[in-house]
Structure 1
Amino acid sequence: MRLSNCTFIVKVGNKYLEFDTHEITELHIEQKRVSICYLQDNSRGSLSVGFEDFEIRQEES
Structure 2
Amino acid sequence: MQQSEQFFSNKQLKRMIIPLFIEQTRHLVIWLVLIHNIANAVVFPFADRLGKGLRAT
TM exceeds 0.5?
no
Name the structure, 1 or 2, with higher relative contact order (CA <8 Å, separation 6+): 1
**Would you tell me which structure has more strand in proportion to its own residues?**
1
What TM-score, normalized by structure 1, do the two folds share?
0.15
- Structure with the larger helix share: 2
